[in-house]
Amino acid sequence: MDEQFDLLMDAGIQQEKIFLSTIMPLLKNAGSSHNADPDDITARTGESYSSIYFRASLIARIRLRGKLHTLSIPDRLADAIPSGIPVSKLASEKQFSRISFHESTAVSILESATLLAIERVPKEFDCCSRYIQCSDAKVCIHPDPKLSMLCGYRRILKSGRIFYGENRNIK
């Protein structure tokens, strides 16, 4: 009986690795499109599940081992789960929204959760010396994605408010 369980677990780990090898290029591409460094999006396979991270921030847990296949999203990113998808909570994982794993929905949920994680990186400064060029371009143009992610003005521009330059719309 234990040998069957071990084989089932090994097969699940392999399924997780295959899924991660498919999804990671998509998530890295989505991150790049939002000026994030693709190398900041990583995956790890652990003893119980595989995890996807943006920097040190957990995006999701994937479990394709045993009979129950699940995708768990931290509650801070639960907006990535479309309405109508049944969500469950476990007493042992109160900070996660858990859904049944279906590859067709998992891909779009993981992409949305990744973009939310990128957008929710806390700002560390309001703007840099490129604020006029950013205003003219209507997006952050800083060449270093790691610094760009920390800019507060980037979020303001994304909301459509422009304080400086030829596109100024805030008096």
Q: What is the tens place of the pLDDT at every residue in 45-84?
A: 999 999 999 998 999 999 998 888 999 999 999 999 999 9
Angular region, 55: left φ>0, alpha ψ -120 to 50, beta rest: left
* 7 and 39 inside one domain: yes
* 93 and 152 inside one domain: no
Q: Which domain holds residue 135?
A: 123-171
Q: Is the pTM of this model over 0.95?
A: no
* 46 and 79 inside one domain: yes
